[in-house]
Amino acid sequence: MASVDNQWKLFGIDLRGLANMWRAGWRDIAWGQDSVLRRWLDDAVTLRDPVSGVSRVYQAGRVSRLKSAPCNAYVLPVELLLVKQLSLPESVEVDIDSALGFEVRANSPFPPEDTCTGWTIISRDDGRISVSLVIVSRSAVTNYLRQTNMQPDEATEIWALTDSHPVVIGGFGESARNQRYEKKLNRLLLGVVYSVLMLALIPAVPVLAKHQQLQKLERLQQRVQTDAQEAVQLRATLAASNERASMINHLLSTQHDPYKQLQTLTALLGDDVWLASMELRENRLRIDGRAANAAGLMQTLSQRPEFVEVRSPSAIRRERSGEERFVLDIMLSAEEAL
């Protein structure tokens, strides 16, 4: 049966420790004693000794040159402190709170509800860290402050000094300062994220501007097309009319005018002749009709100088009415055909 522990390992790395590693790294960057962010953003604290009356200003665990600070803290005398100097492997720092919790439970002479602790890393050397762990009794601290006529408020912190290293005792007023620092840290992180996003979006600004211009031009084009739709239709109608007019003009320029021939035939033909149709093609004229004497008509037309040739493509037929049905093809002279 496979071990359950193997389910949490990837390439030999225990995935369960990644969260602790992340917390340890974040604590070093943002909350560690050597954190640049904490020295920059954390509030300064005026540390007062109720016995000697000496006060100093600290910021991020170091003595500051500031003359005043918004936060106050009282230092406890040595007789109220239970101090343990621990030498631990650096690997323990990943989950140092749990490791120190075991030490507190094993060494605290006070009840759990009356126990307050604080710790600080003194040094690092050869893969090990030196940690100063301080354990105090909450009730003893309260009695001490009452005996020294101190009247701390909810924001007053309690500190201890071990070999001149300040240690913040948890469970008193340090939470207010930590909350303010956390808000500043969050605002800084949001500012960094915002700046990174803005830097990432800078190359996209020209693209977005061009996209907006393109959308504006497309909307303008749609409006122009809508407004010009009637004009386009009128233009198409005008173009079709121009095309028809051009075609008519072409036909008129290439076809012969039959009016002249109608005038000539009207003068030559008598009242006993009537025409059913007349067809003019270039220099040839075909007439179809009836006459009392079709042969005489054919002879009369042949004598005219404007007609070069007159012939009948089909025989002349006499109808019941006594009239003769004729079809004549007439070749016009060059002058007449113009």
**Quick one: how far is CA 211 from the chain centroid?**
10
Top-ranked range on mean pLDDT: pick from 26-30, 32-36, 260-264: 260-264
In a domain, 197, yes or no: no
| Same-domain status, 187 and 263 | no
In a domain, 234, yes or no: no
User: Which DSSP letter does residue 312 get?
Assistant: -
Residue 241, pLDDT above cutoff 50: yes
What pLDDT shows up at residue 1? 40
What pLDDT shows up at residue 256? 60
- 330 is in which domain, residue-wise? 259-337
Structure confidence by residue, pLDDT tens digits, 245-276: 887 776 666 556 677 777 888 888 888 888 88
CB 71 within 8 A of CB 43: yes
- Tally of domains in the chain: 2
What pLDDT shows up at residue 114? 93
Top-ranked range on mean pLDDT: pick from 39-48, 146-155, 248-257: 39-48
pLDDT band at 306 (very low <50, low <70, confident <90, very high): confident
Q: Which one of 132, 159, 191 terminates a domain?
A: 191
Mean per-residue pLDDT for 313-334? 86
Residue type, 205: V
Structure confidence by residue, pLDDT tens digits, 53-102: 888 998 887 888 888 888 999 999 999 999 999 999 988 877 788 889 99
Higher pLDDT, 250 or 103: 103
| Same-domain status, 289 and 183 | no
What pLDDT shows up at residue 117? 94
Contacts of 225 (CB under 8 A, 6+ apart): none
CB atoms within 10 A of CB 244: 10
CB 148 within 8 A of CB 50: yes
In a domain, 298, yes or no: yes
In the chain, which ranges are continuous DSSP H helix?
18-26, 36-41, 96-107, 138-147, 174-201, 204-227, 229-254, 259-268, 294-302, 334-337
What pLDDT shows up at residue 10? 60
Exposure b/e, 183-216, CB count within 10 A at least 16 = b: ebbeeeeeeeeeeeeeeeeeeeeeeeeeeeeeee
In a domain, 202, yes or no: no
